[in-house]
Structure 1
Amino acid sequence: MVIYGTTVKADETNTCSSVMLDVSQAVKINSQISCLLVNCTFDYSMNDLDKVTSLSLYGSSPYGNKKSFDELAYVEKKHIGWRNGMDKAEGKVSATGKLYSWGPDESALVLAWNKATNFCPNAFKCVAEGIKNKKSLSISSTIAQAVPDDGLCCWNRDSVNSVLGKSATTMVFSEVQALSKNLQDKIEDVHFLSTIDRAQFYVSGEYEGRIYLASRQTMQSNIPDKNSVCTAHGGYLVEFDNQKEFDFVYKFAKAIGGGEHFMSGGNDVNNEGTFTYFHSKKPVPSLKWLSGQPDDYRGKEDCMTFRSDPYGLNDLECYYKSVRFICEIPLHAK
């Protein structure tokens, strides 16, 4: 029927990670070909872990919701086990794998969807747990998307024609092209992240298609100079679209620690009392300010900042000597 050997890979070119995830689709009605094959591997040559204690595969949960993940299966030493009801799908989903606690052999965990089943995630995550420098560590792969054609892995395939019409085939290949573009975007993002100077910036996790870079050192300069540094990294001084985004960045800054102020792109340089963002020129929305702020102390405070404690925004002199800054960097993959 549809596609043979179509493959979607995550972290294929990411030489920084020892955990790799390969998701392959090979759908054929009324055949024994696996409709979905998920392969999670760990490569000791990358030196991410001194010893690996387990490999786990996670699937989107509830099945089809890519916002959260449940553990599906794991391998520890010579034991392979199921999680979260996957044992109910046994006979339709098979698991194989082997764990090598020490190198140089590659550890692997493979799930194969052999028959139609309701247990059909459309996104996967591969996680290796182990020891590095005598400390427990968990390493996770990039999520790989997998959408079985027309849901044939998830539903009763006997009611589906064995030959697709031209329009349906076109839809399938359109979906494959979309997945390919999404993968290419993710690869570009991985490459970009590998170029960031970690000695200069702390790097946040992803938030709605964006990451944030927090300067490790203070910088006594004006907004344009700080924004130029952000521009060189593909972004701009952070702009909080809403309270939720501010809360995410605040938690990131709090985890970094230190007592310095963090400067954003918000300022009222051109119109006292009316804060706008330097990059987009948009007005700053209603956000949580510290009590009594902004107060334009001594008529010199025009830049919007915050500290890791207490919680809330403050206005500060734009040339204040003890201030760090945060860049907002849009990513290709959303």
Structure 2
Amino acid sequence: MRLQILAVLLCSLASATAVYSGRKSCPLGFMQHKKSCYWFSNIHGSFAEASAYCSYMESHLVRINNKDEDGFLRSYAVRRGKAEKYWLGATDLNLEGRWLWEGRRPMVYSNWSPHQPDNYKGKEHCLEMKRAYSNYIWNDASCHGYSKSHFICEKEI
């Protein structure tokens, strides 16, 4: 828990420093790719906890908009190799089968694993990248609090 608090404090300090200096750069712990900064969590949380954690860090669960961005994130996840899965910021909670990014943004790009999304037993409504599926291909998963996962936060520059 101390490590988590320290990480949040360091990210907050780095964010404040970047604003103060007038530079537009990523906060400490975030990695830049084009016009976004990404933070790969080292902690587990439910989908709701992950979303709240990203909001606290003035970011949101990642929205993947194209193949290049997806490739960057998957490549980093493969190299890093510490998490089996990561929450991404999309659900079909509003209407079954209609996947939207947080903020009700339409999904214009997807990279689903074969036979996904399958809404197994009618309980899978949140999006994850899962290592078991060919190096982090997308999968639908249960959003319930007992489903814990790492997550990726995104902050636009």
Same fold (TM over 0.5): yes
What's 1:314 paired with?
Answer: 139
Question: How far 1:307 sits from its partner (Å)?
Answer: 2.0
Matches within 5 A, 1:105-116: none
On the 8 A contact 1:234/1:330 being kept in 2, the answer is: no
Matches within 5 A, 1:160-309: 184-186=22-24, 189=25, 192-193=27-28, 196=29, 203-204=30-31, 206-219=32-45, 221-223=46-48, 225-278=49-102, 280-309=103-132
Aligned partner of 1:303: which letter?
C
Give the number of equivalent residue pairs: 134
What does the per-residue CA deviation read over 1:20-51, in whole Å, with 9 as the maximum and x for residues that have no partner? xxxxxxxxxxxxxxxxxxxxxxxxxxxxxxxx
Question: How far 1:308 sits from its partner (Å)?
Answer: 3.3
Q: Give me the CA root mean square deviation.
A: 1.9
What's 2:18 paired with?
Answer: none
Question: How far 1:294 sits from its partner (Å)?
Answer: 0.3
On the 8 A contact 2:64/2:109 being kept in 1, the answer is: no
Answer 1 or 2: which has greater strand percent: 1
TM-score between both structures, scaled by the size of structure 1? 0.38
- Unaligned 5+ residue runs, structure 1? 1-182, 197-202
Bigger Cα Rg: 1
Structure 1 outlier segments of 4+, above 4 Å? none
TM-score between both structures, scaled by the size of structure 2? 0.76
On the 8 A contact 1:209/1:330 being kept in 2, the answer is: yes
What does the per-residue CA deviation read over 1:283-331, in whole Å, with 9 as the maximum and x for residues that have no partner? 1123221110000000000011112342311100113534111100122
On the 8 A contact 2:92/2:126 being kept in 1, the answer is: yes
Stretch moving more, 262-271 or 241-250: 241-250
Answer 1 or 2: which has greater helix percent: 2
Stretch moving more, 317-326 or 266-275: 317-326
What does the per-residue CA deviation read over 1:211-255, in whole Å, with 9 as the maximum and x for residues that have no partner? 111111211x243x3222112212100001112211111111112
Rounded to whole Å, the distance in 2 between the matches of 1:226 and 1:316 is: 14
- Unaligned 5+ residue runs, structure 2? 1-20
SS at match of 2:76: helix
Aligned partner of 2:62: which letter?
V
On the 8 A contact 1:260/1:322 being kept in 2, the answer is: no
